[in-house]
Structures are given as C-alpha cells and as structure tokens.
Structure 1
Amino acid sequence: MKISVWDTYVPREDGKTMHFDILVPSTMEEKESIFGYGREYLSSKPFQTAELSSKECRFCHMEQAPEAIADIINKKGYYIIEMENCE
C-alpha cells in the first residue's frame, strides 16, 4: 500500500513539542479528515496540547507501507508513528 506521511508538530502545555507522523492511504486528500485523525490521537493523551491545523500538520512525502502498518490503516483509516515527546 502506498501511503502519505503527514509530519506533525504540536505544542504541549508543558512547553515541549510533540512530533509524530500521521500515515494515511495515498489516495486520501481530505485534509480535515487527516487533521481529525491527529485530533483523535491527541485526545488519547493525558496532557493538553495546542489545536492541530495546517500550521502544525503538513504533507511530507509518500512511501510504501510495511504490511503490518498497511493492515492497521485498512482497519482504522490511519496510523500514528510517535517520534518525540509523545509520552
């Protein structure tokens, strides 16, 4: 499965910046849906963050997804890769 990678940086209430990638099918172009996936992910965190918008989340590149990630995207619609300050 070919996927789009959306590079995302969101400030946390403690001054740190979360960095994570939102992975979606390459055919998905509806930005508000992609931002919605990011907001859903952020709502699962025990700390407050700034709002997620096009300022914090931008298309980065396309790549081929490993089978395990493609399976999750097929079931859930997206996949999050946590990079920095996500815990």
Structure 2
Amino acid sequence: MKISVWDTYVPREDGKTMHFDILVPSTMEEMESILGYGREYLSSKPFQTAELSSKECNFCHLEQAPEAIADIIHKKGYYIIEMENCE
C-alpha cells in the first residue's frame, strides 16, 4: 500500500512541541479528514495541546507502508508515528 506521510507539529500546554506523522492512503487528499485523524489522536492524550490546523500539518512524502501498518490503515483509516514529546 502506498501511503502519504503528513509531518505534524503541535504545541503542548507545557511549552513542548509534539512531533508526529499521520499516515494515510496516498489516494486521500481531503485535508479535513487528515486533520480529523490528527485531532482524534490528540484527544487521546492526557494533556492539552493547541488546535490542529493545516499550519501544523504538512505533506512530507509518499512511501510504501510495511504490511503491519497497512493493515491498521485498512481498519482504522490512518496510522500515527510518534516522533517527539508525544508522551
């Protein structure tokens, strides 16, 4: 499965900046859906963050998803890779 990687940086209430990638099928182009996935992920966190908009989330690149990630994207619609300050 070919996927799009959306590089995302969101300020946290404690001054740190979260960095995570939102992975979606390469055919998905609707920004509001991609942002919705990011907002769903942020709502699962025990701390507050700034609002997620297209300013914090930018297309990075296309790549081939490993099978395990592709399976999750098929079921859930997206996958998040936590990079920095996500815990």
Does TM-score exceed 0.5, indicating one fold? yes
**Equivalent-residue separation in structure 2 for 1:33 and 1:53 (angstroms):** 11
Query: What is the distance in 2 between the residues matched to 1:73 and 1:53?
Result: 22
Number of positions where the alignment pairs a residue of Structure 1 with one of Structure 2? 87
Could you tell me which runs of 5 or more consecutive residues in structure 2 were left unpaired when the two chains were aligned.
Answer: none
User: Following the alignment from structure 2 to structure 1, what is the Cα–Cα distance between the partners of residues 68 and 29?
Assistant: 22
Partner of 2:84: 84
Moved over 2 A (4+): none
- Measured on the aligned residues, the alpha-carbon RMSD in Å equals 0.2
Does residue 14 (structure 1) correspond to residue 14 (structure 2)? The answer is yes
The TM-score, its normalising length taken from structure 1, stands at: 1.00
Q: Which residue of 1 aligns with 2:74?
A: 74
Q: Among the aligned pairs, what percent are the same residue?
A: 94
Q: Secondary structure at the match of 1:81?
A: strand
| 1:24-49 Cα deviation digits (max 9, x unpaired) | 00000000000000000000000000
Give the whole-Å Cα distance in 1 for the aligned partners of 2:60 and 2:46. Answer: 27
